[in-house]
Amino acid sequence: MVRQAWVAGQFYPGNASELSRMLRGFLSISEKARPAHMIVSPHAGYVYSGAVAGKVISSVKIPRKVVVVGPNHRGMGSPAAIMSRGAWETPLGLVKLDEDLGTILKSHCPLLREDKTAHAMEHSLEVQVPFLQYLRDDLLLTPICLSILEWKHCQDLGMALARAVKEAGEPVLLLASTDMTHYEPAEVAKEKDQKALDRIMALDPQGLYEVVRKARISMCGVLPTTVCLVASLELGAKEARLLEYTNSGAVNNDYRQVVGYAGVVVS
C-alpha cells in the first residue's frame, strides 16, 4: 500500500523542485552533525515552522532507520497506530516503510495496532518526511500516530520502542513531532511552553506529561514527546539541548494569538 501525501500543496510545496528549493533553504548540511537518540521538531506549515524543523533535523546525523511519532489531530483509528508495510509518497518520491522494525516493535507492545486509518489524513508525521527524505534517500520510515494515552501507556510504549531500537541492529533516530502552545498571546505561550521545555531539558517524561495537563498547555505532541523521552532514557540519553524556540508571530507579525515552535536534540 502507498500512503499518498495529504497536505502537499498546503503545508509544503506540492511540486518536487519547489519543495527541494525550500528544503535547501531550511537545512544546514554540516559535518558537525552528531548522532542523537531523539529530536523534537514542529509540524506547522513550512512557512511558519520549517526553519526550526530544518535547523534541528540538520543538526543530527540521520540514520537509515527513523521512527516518527506524532499526535493524531483528527482522532481517527487506533489510539496507538503504526504503519509498517508499504510506502509513503511525497513530491520527492516514495519512502519505504520499515517492516522489520515495525514487526519487532509490535511484538513488544500489544497496544500498537497496524492502522492506516489513523495516518491517512494526519499532517504531523507527513510534514517531517520530506526533510528526512532529502537528507537520506535510503530512508526506512516507521510512523506512529498517538491519541488519548495515560502515562502508563506512554511508559509502556516508550520502553517497547527502546527494546525495538536495541534489537534493530543499527542506529535508529526517534523524532517526536509537536507544536507547542496554540493560539494564546506570545508572552503567555512562552511562559507556558517554558514549563514544558523545562521538563524536556530535565529528561523528565512523566513530569512533562503531568505539567502539560496541570498547566493546560496546548502542546499537541505531548504524548509523542513523552514516549520518545521514555525510550531515549532507556537507550542512555544524558542531555537535551534546545536549539530554538519561536512562534508564528515571527512570521505573520501577529503576537496576539501565536503557535509556539521548539527544536530540541536529546543525546
Query: What pLDDT, on the 0 to 100 scale, is given for residue 129?
Result: 98
Query: What pLDDT, on the 0 to 100 scale, is given for residue 31?
Result: 67
87: helix, strand or coil: strand
Distance CA 267, CA 256 (A): 35
Phi-psi region of 203 (alpha: psi -120 to 50; beta: other; left: phi over 0): left
**Full pLDDT tens readout for the chain, 267 residues:** 899 999 999 999 999 999 999 999 999 877 689 999 999 999 999 999 999 999 999 999 999 999 999 999 988 999 999 999 999 999 999 999 999 999 999 999 999 999 999 999 999 999 999 999 999 999 999 999 999 999 999 999 999 999 999 999 999 999 999 999 999 999 999 999 999 999 999 999 999 999 999 999 999 999 999 999 999 999 999 999 999 999 999 999 999 999 999 999 999
Contact 234, 24 (CB under 8 A): no
- Characterize the bridge pairing of strands 258-266 and 240-247: antiparallel
Domains assigned to the chain:
2-266 (3.40.830.10)
Burial 130-146 (b: 16+ CB within 10 A, else e): bbbbbbbeebbbbbbbb
* Global confidence as pTM: 0.97
The crossing angle, in degrees rounded to 10, of helices 151-167 and 222-234 is 50
CA torsion, ordered 38, 227, 166, 114, to nearest 10 deg? -110
Question: CA 208, 212, 214 angle in degrees (round to 5)?
Answer: 115
